[in-house]
Amino acid sequence: MSIIQQIRDKYAAVVIGLIALSLIGFILMDSGKGGSGGVNMSDAVGSINGTNISYETYSAATKSREDMYLANGQRVDDNTRQQIYSDTWRMMVESELLSQEYKKLGLSVTDKEFNDLMFGKKPAQFLVQEFTDPNTGEFDAAKAKTAIAEIKKQKNNPNTERINEFYLKPLLENRLRSKYNELLSVSAYVPNWLAEKSVAESNAIASFSFVTVPFSSIPDSSVEVTDAKVSAYISARAAQFKQEEGTRSLAYVSFPFNPSASDSADARDAVSRLAAEFATTDDAGAFVTRNGSSISFFDGYNSKGRIQIAQKDSIIGAGLGKVYGPYLDGGNYVLSRVVDVKQQPDSVKARHILIGTMDPRTQQPIRDDSTAKALADSVERVIKGGGSFELLALQKSDDEGSKIKGGDLGYFVSGTMVKEFNDFCFGKKAGESGIVKTQFGYHYIQITDQKNFETAYKIAYLSKPIEASQETVNDAQGKANAFAAKARTLKAFDEVVKKDSLTKLLATDVKESDFQISGLGVNRKVVRDIYEASVGKVLDAEEFGNQFVVIAVTGSEKPGLMSVAKARPQVENLIRNEEKTKLLITKIGAVSSLEAVATAQKTTVMRADSVLFGSPTIPNVGYELKVGGFAFNKAMLNKVSPVIGGTSGVFVIKSDFIGAKSDASASVEETRKTLEGQQKGSATYASMQALRNAAVIKDKRSKFQ
């Protein structure tokens, strides 16, 4: 990671990526490889069609992705980490499946083609962003090549692998995928007859009379849905109820330890006792640090508009040096004190040349302090003597992120840079320059512009969280342990829940590779424990956030066809309605007329006019696809239908009109193009789904995580 990116807490690998351009040949050589075929399955996190993915490969990919999050200033917690792991595995699976498909089709990217992707008429976007002249809007290939020539002189740059992974390799893969998608796209074809049929169907309308008997006329209790019926139903629709991964089902009881009113009062008192000393201390920042504030002291200034606190008017209104509070901010009690006030710009534009003393990646020195200071002084003398800032930045600066842009950092707001750098840029005037020492070395800085001067405030915040006391925590833990001791079986679990009037909650579809449990949060250890336990096991109390939880393993699902127990909630009502349809058909018997059915079933004949073929919605009934199918059957025109099983009940209908609405905008050719466009649009997704469905994918990541 470059040094100025660490100063900014951001990552501009787009620029550093140029270092990896020398790897093009290596990448092209590797592009034909289908994965880690030589890896033993015992050392693999999984396999795709027999190609094993090593733990090292998977781990390196997830680590690179985590580093990217961190370098961009994003917090990587357990939730984020699980998402990273899932995304990385999904991308590795898709990449391997596509790579195997490219081989079958003979798709490749030549050296010349890759070079065109980088520098041709449509150069790579990350290069365009960095080497487009803002005045002309033209891509400056010469400047890019000059920068590349300079950067290639560097050896053993640790960013090489990361840039290969996130910029060059994706560029190559995107080109291959583009070729693949083009093949899929040209396969789309819609004949005129199909477009004509679609136009006719979209304009078709029908009118009919009908009688309906709702399913609610038969009590649910009179129709038994047995396990055998559920099993038969899902077996007949196996593809719909197929599970790729095994899952566990859980029941749990929670014992929270939220802060009590007494805990809140104690936190407020603790902060209040510090107010007087906070108001008189000479060093508010040191006082905040010394007293363990949950909000660190920022030794800088912010304009009122940049202060994101609801009480900011009261804080500023209290006056310079005055303490405001305590007040509630989220789950904290806070005291605030305005330490200083001054006029400063809202944003600054600057450029710099860094003479580094330390490699921020390894924390190893790269030159001693006196040598670095002497070099920085030399740079300053040359520039003040008329030397080119841009050329010296390219030749001398150790900040890879800005050197190829002449040291330009663009505009940044206060607090973005480290303190010494920030203080110089916001404390001096536009046009001023000088040498500043930071933890990274010596910076020769020029302030090129400042914008929007306004009043800025330096504010110290002394913040203490409202936390549950140990007594509160111990009380919740004691209750959880007592429950777990009594509820050692599923039967006992339910009995104690009922006896003690507790709330039992459920969690389903917990996968072996998951890091979190829906409704509870992240706890990888507990997920492992759940899979090590047998069904019926009740685990010991575990802490999740601000609660202790006792979990019972209630069910286990294997990959393949869904179990009857899991499928029942999804299909029970559908099966019951099928059974009710049979009962109502028997009850209605032979149909002679709509009026006869209506009289026998104590209902009325109703009317539906201008029902659309594409969306057969019946007034006062709703969407009924089967009824629509009978209504548009010309062979049944002016005839009474048999009893039709719908979604809300059974129907008997009699169509008296089937026609078409007039639509001057209807165009067979436009419809054909639209249908063909839909085919092209869905081809990529459908192709990947087909590849996944046909593949043998083994996911063993849970054994390593």
Residues 6+ apart with CB under 8 A from 475: 257
When pLDDT is averaged across residues 200-227 and rounded to a whole number, the result is 94
pLDDT above 80 (res 148): no
Mean pLDDT, the chain, integer: 85
3-state secondary structure of 147: helix
| pLDDT for residue 86 | 85
CA atoms within 13 A on the CB side of 449: 10
| pLDDT for residue 167 | 65
Confidence of residue 13 (pLDDT cuts 50, 70, 90): very low
When pLDDT is averaged across residues 256-285 and rounded to a whole number, the result is 93
3-state secondary structure of 303: strand
pLDDT above 50 (res 240): yes
Distance of CA 593 to the CA centre of its chain: 58
CA distance 80 to 515: 10
When pLDDT is averaged across residues 360-373 and rounded to a whole number, the result is 78
| pLDDT for residue 664 | 58
Confidence of residue 61 (pLDDT cuts 50, 70, 90): confident
pLDDT above 90 (res 272): yes
The burial class, CB within 10 Å (0-12 / 13-18 / 19+), for 317 is: exposed
Highest mean predicted confidence (pLDDT) among 68-72, 309-313, 498-502: 498-502
Question: With b meaning 16 or more CB within 10 Å and e meaning fewer, what string describes 157-181?
Answer: bebbebbbbbbbbebbbebbbeebe
CA distance 502 to 500: 5
Count of C-beta atoms within a 10 Å radius of residue 284? 24
Express each pLDDT in 605-628 by its tens digit. 999 999 999 889 998 899 999 999
| pLDDT for residue 495 | 96
When pLDDT is averaged across residues 108-126 and rounded to a whole number, the result is 78
| pLDDT for residue 166 | 63
CA atoms within 13 A on the CB side of 350: 31
Give kind and range of the element (H or E) at residue 629: helix 625-631
Strands 606-612 and 560-561 come out as unpaired
pLDDT above 90 (res 601): yes
| pLDDT for residue 125 | 67
The burial class, CB within 10 Å (0-12 / 13-18 / 19+), for 444 is: buried
CA distance 396 to 380: 12
Long-range contacts of the stretch 44-48 (C-beta < 8 A, 24+)? 44/700, 45/89, 45/699, 45/700, 45/701, 45/703, 45/704, 46/89, 46/697, 46/698, 46/699, 46/700, 46/701, 47/696, 47/697, 47/698, 48/92, 48/93, 48/96, 48/97, 48/100, 48/695, 48/696, 48/697
Confidence of residue 24 (pLDDT cuts 50, 70, 90): very low
3-state secondary structure of 6: helix
CA distance 629 to 613: 8
| pLDDT for residue 665 | 67
Give kind and range of the element (H or E) at residue 210: strand 204-214
Express each pLDDT in 392-448 by its tens digit. 998 889 888 888 889 999 999 888 898 899 999 998 999 999 999 998 899 999 999
Average the pLDDT over each of 39-43, 368-372, 553-557 and give the range with the smallest value. 39-43
* Edge-first strand listing for the sheet containing 644-645: 606-612, 204-214, 649-660, 644-645
| pLDDT for residue 28 | 37
| pLDDT for residue 360 | 66
* Best CA proximity match to 340, nearest among 427, 443, 405: 427
* Best CA proximity match to 690, nearest among 135, 7, 180, 15: 180
CA distance 56 to 62: 10
Confidence of residue 21 (pLDDT cuts 50, 70, 90): very low
Q: What token pair was written down for 545? A: 């956030």
Tell me which of 509 and 131 has the higher pLDDT. 509
CA distance 459 to 336: 7
Confidence of residue 78 (pLDDT cuts 50, 70, 90): confident
Tell me which of 139 and 284 has the higher pLDDT. 284
Q: What token pair was written down for 632? A: 């548009």
Query: Which domains are present in the chain?
Result: 3-186+697-703 (1.10.4030), 201-242+564-660 (no CATH), 247-258+469-558 (3.10.50), 260-467 (3.10.50.40)
Express each pLDDT in 552-572 by its tens digit. 999 999 889 999 988 999 999
Query: Would you give the DSSP letter of residue 566?
Result: H
| pLDDT for residue 672 | 92
CA distance 436 to 619: 77
Using alpha carbons only, what angle is made at residue 500 by residues 499 and 506, rounded to the nearest 5 degrees? 95
| pLDDT for residue 650 | 96
The burial class, CB within 10 Å (0-12 / 13-18 / 19+), for 325 is: buried
pLDDT above 50 (res 492): yes
| pLDDT for residue 244 | 83
**Amino acid occupying residue 532:** E
pLDDT above 80 (res 121): no
